[in-house]
Chains A and B, each alone.
Chain A
C-alpha cells in the first residue's frame, strides 16, 4: 500500500483516499499526475499515438493544453476537445517545461476550467501537469488538445525544432502551432496579423517558424485550407484567427469578422476541433527537423502575455531543445489549477486573463531536465533569467494554496455556473484594449520589465517580435493579463497573509508612496504652527524692515535670512538699527577690557632716559676732573724728574738713535727740509716730540726750510719756532724759510720732489724762497741735507715715504711722529733698504732723544705729568673695567636666573 502525495500540500495520503486528509484536495489515482485522473485510461492506449516518453509528464503546458471536457463549456474546452487529448502523449516530449510559470499559468487556467466543468482529482504533484493533464492517463498536454492525433505525430517530429522544455511559453506557442498545423492551409499572410505570419505556411525559403514547423507534407494539408482572410489588425483577432487557421481545414467558408474575432475564433475552434478529430492524420511524416527561424507575424494577445525575453530565450532554447525533453513532475504546482479553477468558477475570466504576473518569474526548477548532451548548442546556461524560477516559488505555491482555499469557497457558490464563451473571449479582448494601462505587475515581476532591452540584443531580428522589441505595439501589448478587475480579489488575499516577497514588495511600494507624499505636503499641524505675518510689500520688507519670507516652506516667518541679496536695504539705516544683544556681566567685563586696551594704544608713552646715560655722563666728568687735576697739578707743581738713560743697544736699534746720529752729522748751513704735517690738535705731543730734534738741528746750524701739505702747517711751523725754539732766535729768510703750503698732497709732493723751486717759488711771506744761500743750489729735493717730516698722521707719513723717500738719493728721510703712528712707520724703518732713516715717536722717544743729547727739553718737563696721566688713566680704566666686568657677570647671572625661572 503506497501513499499518494497530495498535489496541493504534498503530504502523503493513503492510496484509497479520494481527497487529501490535510488539505482536502482531491487525490488522483495516479501519483504522478493529476492528469492521469482527469483523463481516461483508454486515451493512453489510443491507437496511433506515440509512446509516451513521460507518462507522468509534469509539463505545465501539457496541463494547459489538456482538454478534458468533450463539449467545451468554456473556451478551453473548445480549445481542447477530448479527442485531442489522445495526442498528449506524443506531445509531451516536446520539451515543455514543467517549471515554467507560463506553463503553470496555462495549466492552472485549464485546471480551473476543468474543475469548473467536472470535478477532477488532481493527484498529480505537478500543477501544470494537472492543468495540462489530458483525460488519458498517459498524460496529455494542451498541445495535444490542440492537435489531433495526426498532429501529435507530427508534433513529436517537430520537437527537434528547437523548442525548449524550459520555456513553457514557447512550448505553448509551439504546441499551438503544432496543433493547428495539420489544418493550416497556406493562407495569405496578413501583414497586420502576426499570427498570420506565425501560421504562415511553409515556404521553400523556410524563413518563418511556421514553415519550419510544417513539413512539406503538411503543406498539402494546408493547401486544403483557404485563406481565412483575416485582415483584422487587432492582435487579439490575429491570435484567434491564427488559432483558427489551424482549424481552417473545416472552416473554409468561414470568413472571419473583424468585428467579432472572438466569435469567429470560438466558432471556428469548435469546428476545427471536431474536424481535426475526424480527419486527423498522423503527423509523423511531418518534417521534424524543421527549425523555427523567425516569427515575423503578430502572434496575438498571447504573444503579449509572454515576456519578451522569454520569447527570445524560448526561441533560442527551442533550437537546442531535445526531441523529447523529459518533463519532471513538480509537486505542489496544482495551485495554478486551483487558481484557474477559481477564476473560471467564479466567472472571472477577465480577471484570469490578467492573472499571471508570475510569468516574469522564470527561474528554472531544479528538477527540470537540462539540455541534452546530444545537443550541446543549447546549454543550460543559455536559459534566460526570466526563465529561472524564483526562490519564491514555494512561497508562491503557498500563496496560491491560500488562494485555492479561497477558490474552494467561491467554487461552492459558483459551482453550477459556467462561463459563457463571450465572457471567456472578452477577457483577452478587453485586455488588449486596455493595453498598458492595465499592466500591473507585482514588484517582483516588474523587475523583469527591463529585460526586453537586454534580451533584444541577443535575439535575431525575425524573433524580436516575440521578445516585444520590434514593434511597439507588441511591447505595449505585453500586458499583464491580470488586470485591474482582479485587484480587489488580490487585495483581499494580500490583506490576510502575504508571502515574504510580497510583503517586502508592498512595503517598498508603500514607502515610496509615503516619500512622495511627504515631499509635497506639509502636515496640518505644521501649517497650524507656522506664524504667518503679512508683509507690507512684495519684496518681503515690512515697515520695520523685518524681512518676511514669502516663498517656500518658511513663508510667513519673519526675520529669516533672505536667500537673495537685499539690494533694497539701506546700509545706513541697517547700521543704525540697534542690536538686541543680551550681554552678561562677563561680557561687559570683556568689553571694558577691550576698550581699555584700545585706549591705551592711543596714549603716547614718553621715553624715559635710562639711568646709565646719567651715570656715563657723571663718570666722564669724573674721569676728566681727575685727569685735569692730577695732570694740571703735576704740571704746575710737579717739576722735572730724572729719568733712566736707555741702554746703548736699544738706542742703536731705535729710530731716535738713528735720527740723533744723522742730525749729529749735519753741519752749519746745510739745507734741511722740515715738513709740518700735523694737526693743531696734536701740537702738544708733536711739539714735545719734535722740540728736541729741531733743537738739535738748530744747534747744528742747518738752514731750515719749512713746508707743509696742511693748510695750517705754515702757521704751526711759525708757532713751533716761536713756542719751542725761541731761544735759538732763528730769523726768517736768513736761517730758515717757510715755504708755506704745498697743495695736492701726494701729487704736490711728487711735483715738489721733481722741481721744488717751480712748485713753491715764493715763501710763505711772499719772499723769494730759493733766494737764500743754502737754497740756491737746491734744484731738487735730494739737494736737501735732510728731510724731516713731523706728522701725527700715518697716511701723511706713508705719502712722504712713498712719494719722496723713493726719489731721495743720499738725503735721509726722518720723521717725528706721534706715538700712534710709530707702528705704521716702523716697517719702513726696519726694512732694507730703509725708506725711513730714523724717527722719533712720542714723548718716550723724545725723552730718550733728550737723554742722548743730554739736554732736557719739553719731554723731560712733560714726563712727570705724562706718567701721572698714564697712571690715572690706567687706574681709571682698570677700576672701571673691573667694576664693569663684575657688574656684567652679575647681570649675566641674573639673566640666567630669570631665564631659568621662565
Chain B
C-alpha cells in the first residue's frame, strides 16, 4: 500500500521539533530532548554537506564531454575536489592512524592555493569598488549619490592616520559616522532581522511556511 506521508509527516516533524526546541529555552526539563534533536540536526547537516559534495561531483561529471565547452573547468573542479579529498583523507589517516596531526599537505593546499585565490578575489573587489565609487557620479548625479560618495571619502580619510598628515577632525567625523548613523542603521537592521526571524519561525511552527517541502 502506497501511502503518501511526505507532506503531513514532514510538516509534523518540523512543527514538533521546532516547538520542542523553542520550549527548551524556557523549560529546563526538556533540555535533553532538545539536545538530542539538535544533535540529530547536526548529523543531518554534516550528511547534507556530504550529499552536497556528492551532488557537486555528479553535476560536473555530467558536464564532462565534448559537447560542453566548459567541461575542462568541470574536470579541474573534479580533480581538485578529489585531490583535496584524497589529501585530506591521507592527512586524516595519518593523523588518526599514526598520530601525526599536523595536516601538512592540507595546510599547504590551503595556504598556497585557496587562500591566495580568495584573497586576490577580495583585492579585485577592492579595485572594482574603487572604480564604482569613482563612476557613481557619472551614472547617477543626485543627492543620495553625492552623499554616498562624500561619506565614503570622509570615512576613508578618517581612517587615514599618518602622523604628519593626520587630520584629527577627520577622525572625529569618522567616529561620529560609525557610532551614530551607522549604529542607528545597524540597530534598525538588526531589529528588522529579529522580527523577520520571529515571523518566519512562527510560520514554520504553524505549518504555513514549509521550506522543507510538502
Measured CB to CB, the residues of A under 8 A from B are 616, 619-620, 623-624, 627, 641-644, 679-684, 711-712, 715-716, 718-719, 722-723, 732-733, 742-745, 747-748, 750-751, 754-755, 758-759, 763-767, 798, 819, 822-824, 826-827, 830, 844, 847, 863-864, 867, 870-871, 873-874, 876-885, 887-889, 892
> Is B82 close to A, CB under 8 A?
no
Measured between alpha carbons, how far is A767 from B98 in the docked complex, in Å?
A: 11
Which residues in A have their C-beta under 8 angstroms from that of B31?
A: 754
Interface positions of B from 85 to 123, Cβ below 8 Å from A: 92, 95-96, 99, 101-103, 106-107, 110-111, 114-115, 118-119, 121-122
Which residues in A have their C-beta under 8 angstroms from that of B149?
A: 877, 881
B141 and A880 form a contact (CB under 8 A) = no
A715 and B103 form a contact (CB under 8 A) = yes
Measured between alpha carbons, how far is A827 from B178 in the docked complex, in Å?
A: 11
Which residues in A have their C-beta under 8 angstroms from that of B152?
A: 877
Measured between alpha carbons, how far is A864 from B38 in the docked complex, in Å?
A: 47
Interface positions of B from 138 to 187, Cβ below 8 Å from A: 138-139, 141, 149, 152-153, 156-157, 159-163, 166, 178-179, 182-183, 185-187
Chain A: minimal CB distance from B51 (Å): 13
B141 and A747 form a contact (CB under 8 A) = no
Which residues in A have their C-beta under 8 angstroms from that of B161?
A: 643-644, 844, 847, 863, 867
Which residues in A have their C-beta under 8 angstroms from that of B179?
A: 826
Chain B: minimal CB distance from A231 (Å): 113
Given contacts A732-B101, A827-B183, contact A683 B119 (CB under 8 A): yes
A744-B38, A748-B45, A879-B134 are known; give 9 further A-B pairs, CB within 8 A: A681-B121, A683-B118, A732-B102, A743-B46, A755-B35, A822-B178, A827-B190, A870-B156, A874-B153
Chain B: minimal CB distance from A828 (Å): 8
> Is B136 close to A, CB under 8 A?
yes
> Is B80 close to A, CB under 8 A?
no
Name which of B8-16, B62-70, B124-132, B205-213 contacts chain A: B124-132
Chain A: minimal CB distance from B29 (Å): 14
Given contacts A643-B163, A751-B38, A877-B133, contact A884 B156 (CB under 8 A): no
Measured between alpha carbons, how far is A201 from B158 in the docked complex, in Å?
A: 146
> Is B23 close to A, CB under 8 A?
no
Given contacts A844-B159, A867-B160, contact A884 B137 (CB under 8 A): yes
Measured CB to CB, the residues of B under 8 A from A are 21, 31, 34-35, 38-39, 41-42, 45-46, 49, 92, 95-96, 99, 101-103, 106-107, 110-111, 114-115, 118-119, 121-122, 124, 126-128, 130-131, 133-139, 141, 149, 152-153, 156-157, 159-163, 166, 178-179, 182-183, 185-187, 189-190, 193
A764 and B190 form a contact (CB under 8 A) = no
Measured between alpha carbons, how far is A863 from B159 in the docked complex, in Å?
A: 10
Chain B: minimal CB distance from A538 (Å): 69
Measured between alpha carbons, how far is A885 from B152 in the docked complex, in Å?
A: 16
Which residues in B have their C-beta under 8 angstroms from that of A620?
A: 127-128, 131
B119 and A764 form a contact (CB under 8 A) = no
- B interface secondary structure, majority: helix
Residue of A743, A826, A882 with most partner-chain B CB within 10 A:
A743
Given contacts A823-B183, A826-B183, A876-B130, contact A680 B163 (CB under 8 A): no
Chain B: minimal CB distance from A343 (Å): 115
Which residues in B have their C-beta under 8 angstroms from that of A873?
A: 126, 130, 156
Measured between alpha carbons, how far is A333 from B124 in the docked complex, in Å?
A: 131
Measured between alpha carbons, how far is A620 from B131 in the docked complex, in Å?
A: 6
B156 and A680 form a contact (CB under 8 A) = no
Closest to A801 in B: B190
Chain B: minimal CB distance from A875 (Å): 10
Measured between alpha carbons, how far is A673 from B159 in the docked complex, in Å?
A: 31
Chain A: minimal CB distance from B120 (Å): 8
Residue of B95, B99, B131, B178 with most partner-chain A CB within 10 A:
B131
Given contacts A718-B107, A881-B137, contact A823 B101 (CB under 8 A): no
Task: Give the contacting residue for B130; candidates A798, A877, A884; CB below 8 A.
Answer: A877
The 9 A-B pairs at the shortest CB distance, nearest first, are namely: A880-B134, A765-B101, A884-B138, A681-B118, A823-B182, A766-B96, A885-B137, A681-B122, A751-B38
Measured between alpha carbons, how far is A880 from B138 in the docked complex, in Å?
A: 9
B186 and A826 form a contact (CB under 8 A) = yes
Measured between alpha carbons, how far is A623 from B134 in the docked complex, in Å?
A: 10
Given contacts A754-B35, A766-B96, contact A874 B157 (CB under 8 A): yes
Chain B: minimal CB distance from A639 (Å): 13
Task: Give the contacting residue for B141; candidates A624, A870, A885; CB below 8 A.
Answer: A885
Task: Give the contacting residue for A867; candidates B106, B162, B186; CB below 8 A.
Answer: B162
Measured between alpha carbons, how far is A748 from B40 in the docked complex, in Å?
A: 10
Measured between alpha carbons, how far is A401 from B189 in the docked complex, in Å?
A: 123
